[in-house]
Amino acid sequence: MDRASTAYLLIFAGDSTRIEPLPDQGSLCLRLGEGGELIVAGGEAGSGDAGVARLLVDHGSVTVEELEGSTLQVNGERSAKPRVLAAGDMLSIGADLSEPSPLQ
């Protein structure tokens, strides 16, 4: 099984978790919904989205990019520049960065 077929986000939100499979190639927007839930959507971020970041996926390589007006941490460190992720990296987006979400 190749790495591209197994890339996913493991999202922790309060007492629940969910798995969000990543495509083999493309751009995904991470944003916070009105209730603070993480929304993963294909394509570009909207101008009014809260806590947005973009994932660029290319055949198993995943790069995360903080978008203007948001706050992003990777493994507990502020990440204002695009960064290639590795299995197990933990992302936090938005104002509350106390509970990061692992990317595996």
Q: Which residue has the higher pLDDT, 51 or 79?
A: 79
| Mean pLDDT in residue range 34-52 | 68
Amino acid occupying residue 89: D
Cα–Cα distance, 50 to 39 (Å, whole number): 11
Residue ranges of the domains in the chain?
3-102
The pLDDT, as a whole number, for residue 4 is: 43
Provide the pLDDT confidence category of residue 19 given band limits of 50, 70 and 90: very high
pTM for this one? 0.74
Alpha-carbon dihedral sign for residues 90, 25, 69, 84: positive
| Mean pLDDT in residue range 53-68 | 90
Architecture of the 3-102 domain:
Sandwich (2.60)
| DSSP single-letter state for residue 32 | E
58 Cβ contact partners less than 8 Å away, ≥ 6 residues apart: 25
